[in-house]
Amino acid sequence: MVSFSSLEFIFRFLPIFLIAYFVTPVKYRDLILLAGSLVFYAVGEPVFIFVLILTTLVNYFLGRKAWTLGEGFMVQDWQNKKRKRLVVAAIIFDVLVLVVFKGLAVFADSSFLPLGISFYIFKMISFQADLLRREIWSAPKFRNVALYFTMFPQVTSGPIMRYNEGGFGWEKSGCLEQFEDGLKYFILGLGMKVLLADRLAILWNDLQMIGFQSISTALAWFGAAGYSLRLYFDFWGYSLMASGLMVMLGYDFIENFHHPYGAKSIADFYRRWHITLGSWFKDYVYIPMGGSRCRKGRLVLNLALVWLLTGIWHGNGFNFVIWGVILGFFIILEKLFYGKALQRIPVIGNLYVLLLIPLTWVIFAITDLKQLGIYFGRLFPFIGGAGIAVNSQDIIRYAGNYWIYFAAGILLCIPAVSKFYKKHKKNPIIILLLVFIFWLSIYHLSISAGNPFMYLKF
């Protein structure tokens, strides 16, 4: 049930929850959302629900004590020092919990990694840091803090909302129009996941089954582009579904993607991709280390550390470290040398992104370094030495099978399409199209085993 694109979630959990939520008086709805979120997580993780509860309790009590010490205008030095020690202790606890479970997943078994732990731990760290900075303006109540950490639309894969963005403590009455907007976001995300990402996933699975040593160079590039689109629509689809659910419940929409394939540099790409994660690293890691307002040597170190941590956060394999280091390398080059030139010549910047990003996603996708080397040998046969492909005409068959998904994916990457939808989303034809997308997605879910969102693994 932890996947929003499962029939159990869409036709069992969600209707029951929504009925309970909206028949409950407004001032008690946050309690229904808290209870529903705990049930949602417990069904998917019946053991690790206790990790979520324990970390929630520890962060609340330490955070509440820190808030109490910082109340008022006449705060003594000893109170500030104790307050800082409490917040630091909470952050160290959160980091240790994440490191321990990540370590168990790497060195023991991947099943030891609780679902969504990276996302809810990052929320907890941001909560503590915002308390220390006095960016939380009202005394945190237990049910508000617990809801912020556990709310089911975000607990497994984000977006990483800040505590103040949730308007906790304010009644979420909502309205029919807002519910309708949220439902539309949910359907769009469902369609991206089921009708695009899951179809493109078959292409990548086929290449793995064939063996990378047997595919042609043309198919290798086709596969890299397909994986790039698959990852984008899988995670963008999830983010739209999660944010759509939040809007349905009376919360604000959180944008997590903003046309990243229209970016003009790698740095610009990651300002548009997984926006809440990027802003988290910026606000709680990069800026505290000094950000970009420092000498060049320190700037390089800051960027390198941020992207090394980003790579480690994303996965357990050494390929994720390589992925993060390479992205950091290019972003450092842009910052020091040619970033402004890419902005001045948009076409060059776009081509640069469209060439490099799929190559980095290949590194992201292939955890076996030997297989990764073979794939790059196929991408660049003149330097790879990977041998001759078994079928040099394989691209014809795969392009014939998947061109429609590529065409749809490329179309949805164009900002004008999104603007057109926003302008005409109340048009009856658009509404009928959304109804068609929903039931076509349900049909595909009913005849397949389902494919969980890729970011549920983090």
Element (H, E) at 329: helix 318-333
Q: CB within 8 A of 243, min separation 6: which ones? A: 153, 159, 182, 185, 253, 254, 255, 256
Phi, psi for residue 406 in degrees, rounded to 5: -65, -45
CA distance 379 to 373: 10
Distance from C-alpha of 264 to C-alpha of 397, rounded to nearest angstrom: 33
Report the Cα 384 to chain-centroid distance in Å.
Answer: 33
One of 258, 314, 424, 444 is an active-site residue; which one?
314
Tokens (6 digits) for 451: 């494919």
User: Is 259 one of the catalytic residues?
Assistant: no
Q: Helix %, strand %, coil % for the chain, to 5?
A: 75, 0, 25
Position 62, amino acid? L
> Which H or E run contains 241?
helix 217-248
Query: Burial level of 77, CB count in 10 A (0-12/13-18/19+)?
Result: exposed
User: What's the DSSP call for residue 10?
Assistant: I
Q: Considering just the CA atoms, what is the radius of gyration of the chain in Å?
A: 23
Return the ∠ at Cα 145 (arms to 235 and 16), rounded to 5°.
60
- Which positions are annotated as active-site residues? 314
